[in-house]
Amino acid sequence: MDVGQMQRQLVEYTKSLFIEGYLDSQFLQLQQLQDESNPSFVAEVVSLFFEDSERILKDLTFALEQKIIDFKKVDAHVHQFKGSSSSIGAQRVKNACIAFRGYCEEQNVNSCTRCLQQVKQEYFIVKNKLETLFRLEHQIIGAGGSIPMVELSF
């Protein structure tokens, strides 16, 4: 695959992520932050997000497995998760978190468990997508190309 093709592919892929709602404009903010002085900023932030998320998800899972569920704690975790996901623009994770918080407020165990599954699912999807994205970028750079900027209007 030549560089041009890969670049086109990357652009298409990125666009699809936005169109399908996995990412929102906040992700563009991140991309704007990336420059020569900080070439892998997005990847860094995102991997930090992954680390954080996995910890939070673990905590959440644990918290929801307790006999007496501390919904405040659960809510705090979800709040965290919502914050970080909205910061990197992982829109669907964020939305799932918003719903989750609603159920935390209701103290609805079943719905919370369901939401956790949903949040996890959304997270793993977006993680997958982002990893693919970075792999593509990596390949392009490896092939000596530059990362094309995705122009999107909202």
Partner 1 sequence: MVCEMEHDLMEDMDIEVLPSMWPEDIGTDAGKQFNIEKPGSDQDMLEEVTIVEEPTIVDFKRLMELTNYTDRGSTQLTYFMKYLEYKQANAVRLLREELDNLSKQRQEVELRKLKILEEHRFEDIRYGDDKRPVSILDEVYDIWQDRPRRKNDVVVQNKGIEIDAEYDTVVYWKQRALHLEKLLEASIQREQTLIEKLEESIKNLERQSTPVEELSQILKRADNFLHFILQNAPIVIGHQDKELRYRFIYNHFPRLQEEDIIGRTDVEIFTGSGVRESQDFKREVLEKGLPAKREITFETELFGSKTFLIYVEPVFSKAGETIGINYMGMDVTDQVRKRERMARIREEIAVQKAKETELNKTIHITEETMRAKQMLATMSHEIRSPLSGVVSMAEILSTTKLDKEQRQLLEVMLSSGDLVLQLINDILDLSKVESGAMKLEATKFRPREVVKHVLQTAAASLQKILTLEGHVADDVPIEVIGDVLRIRQILTNLVSNAIKFTHEGKVGINLSVVARPNFGQSEDGQQKISGDKSNVSVSGLSEEKYFSASQNGSSDECRSPVKSERSRNGATEEQPHSTETTVCIRCDVYDTGIGIPEKAIPTLFKRYMQVSADHARKYGGTGLGLAICKQLVELMGGRLTVSSKEHCGSTFTFILPYKVSIACDNSDDPDDKLSDMEKDDAASDDATQGFFQFQPRTLGSLFSSNGSTRASTLRPQKLGLALPHNLNGFSQNSCSLPSNDVTSNGTTSVEDVIRVTTVTDSPEMSESGSSTTHKPGTENETVVSRDKCAQLQNCIACREIGVETKPSKIQQSSETQEKDNRTCQCVTSRSDSTSTVAKPPLEPKILLVEDNNVNVMVARSMMKQLGHSINVVNNGVEAVRAVQRRNYDLILMDVCMPVMNGLEATKLIRSYEETGNWDAATKAGIEPSSSTSDLQNSEPSTKRMPIIAMTANALSESAEECYANGMDSFVSKPVTFQKLKECLAQFVL
Binding site for partner 1 (CB under 8 A): 26, 29-30, 32-33, 35, 38, 41, 44-45, 48-49, 52, 76, 79-80, 82-84, 86-89
The distance of closest approach from Cβ of residue 53 to partner 1 in the complex, given in angstroms and rounded to an integer, is: 9
Which residues, 6+ apart, have CB-to-CB distance to 110 below 8 Å? none
Nearer to partner 1, 83 or 142 (CB): 83
Nearest-angstrom CA–CA distance, 42 and 150: 14
Contact yes or no for 125/50 (Cβ under 8 A) = no
Which residue, 6 or 133, is less far from partner 1 as judged by CB?
A: 133
| Min dist. Cβ of residue 60 to partner 1 (A) | 15
Dihedral over alpha carbons 8, 13, 18, 21 (to 10 degrees): 160
Residue in 129, 132, 125, 134 with CA at minimum distance from that of residue 40: 134
31 is written with which tokens?
A: 């991309």
Minimum gap (Å) between residue 101 Cβ and partner 1: 9
The residue among 76 and 125 lying less far from partner 1, judged by its C-beta, is: 76
- Please identify, using beta-carbon distances, which residue of 86 and 113 lies nearer to partner 1: 86
Cβ of residue 25: shortest distance to partner 1, in angstroms? Answer: 8
22 alpha-carbon distance from chain centroid: 8
| Phi, psi (deg, nearest 5) at residue 35 | -145, -170
